[in-house]
Amino acid sequence: MKFRLAGLATAFLIVILGNACLHAEVKLLRVDPQQTDPSIEAVHGPHIALYDPQAMPSHRLFVFLVGTNGKAEGSLAINSAFAKWGYHAIGLDYEDNVVAVSCAHSQDSACFDHYRDAIVTGAPVSEKVSVDPANSILNRLRKLLSYLAKQDPDGGWGEFMANGQPDWSRIVIAGHSQGAGHAAFIGKLFAVDRVLMFSGPQDYLDDLEKPAPWQARPSATPPSRFFAFLNLNDPYNVHHQIANCAVLMGVSKPKTLMVQPGEAIHSNDQILINDLETKQAHGSTLFPKFENVWEYMATANIR
């Protein structure tokens, strides 16, 4: 069932709000997806967009894709952290209702490939999920950026567009769980600044005992620009996640680094792991206590 925004205050206005959990100067904007294009449906609620006018600008856009059934506002903590560091940040509402692991036991080795393609581009290729081009991640992002550039001209959103399209060279694409796989898929298609994956991807064919093929295809983004943050006890199998990351990063024997909240990271490792004891192992990579890890992923030297 689609979520329909209602009420004058949220139906067609960008609302700039203060919020106690945000950095003091961060501006939060909520945007009804249908306002960016009438053919786009709101799935769970508004897109969110953030920036800090007082921060030293990084001239980078951080785009975050939440996991299955997640609301864009669920990425508020990590988006506000990136805004504090001088990024413009977006949490995108998108068609995330079909869990990625629905392909895990498929005998069709291309199941994950088609699943990702359908949600990211709107191609009519998947038996698991159907998304038209208007409601694809790519179109939602393009229309949101165009809308923000017009409706919030002082926000500087136009810096992240070129010839009416996202300027991928300025975009850090990130996601959690299902969103981690979409972020990686987009990194394959476009040369982004970085790909940051949290608790994913899950694109491992259990019965065939191998990562989904799309992860080994040529990548527009260099493999050295892919980073992952995982939990050792993730119920979706950290070993499968590491295997997926190894393929995306072009290594046969992946190195991993155990990290702790608040501790400085002196490394150039691309796969970071926590062993936090929590009932929310899958969601632990988005706990604000790991802001040190997020910052490392955004700033680590590229080999």
CATH code of residue 14: 3.40.50
Strand intervals (E) in 177-225:
194-198, 204-205, 210-211
Q: Is residue 282 part of a domain?
A: no
Q: Is residue 149 part of a domain?
A: yes
Domain around 20: 8-253
Q: Is residue 187 part of a domain?
A: yes
Is residue 301 a contact partner of residue 224, using CB atoms and an 8 Å limit?
Answer: no
Q: Is residue 3 part of a domain?
A: no
Q: pLDDT in tens for each of the 303 residues of the chain?
A: 343 333 323 333 444 444 444 555 899 999 999 999 999 999 999 999 999 999 999 999 999 999 999 999 999 999 999 999 999 999 999 999 999 999 999 999 999 999 999 999 999 999 999 999 999 999 999 999 999 999 999 999 999 999 999 999 999 999 999 999 999 999 999 999 999 999 999 999 999 999 999 999 999 999 999 999 999 999 999 999 999 999 999 999 999 999 999 999 999 999 999 999 999 999 999 999 999 999 999 999 886
Residue that the structure tokens 């994956």 belong to: 197
Dihedral, 219, 222, 111, 126 alpha carbons, nearest 10: -60
Q: Is residue 12 part of a domain?
A: yes
- Strands 194-198 and 226-231 turn out to be parallel
User: What phi, psi does 24 have (nearest 5°)?
Assistant: -55, -35
Q: Is residue 224 part of a domain?
A: yes
pTM: 0.93
Rounded to a whole number of angstroms, the distance between the first and last alpha carbons of the chain is 45
Residues whose CB falls within 8 Å of the CB of residue 162, separated by 6 or more in sequence, listed in order: none
Q: Is residue 262 part of a domain?
A: no
Q: Give the chain's domain count.
A: 1
R_g of the chain, CA atoms, integer Å: 18
Dist CA 229 CA 76 (whole Å)? 18
Q: Is residue 93 part of a domain?
A: yes
Q: Is 40 exposed, middle or buried (0-12, 13-18, 19+ CB in 10 A)?
A: buried
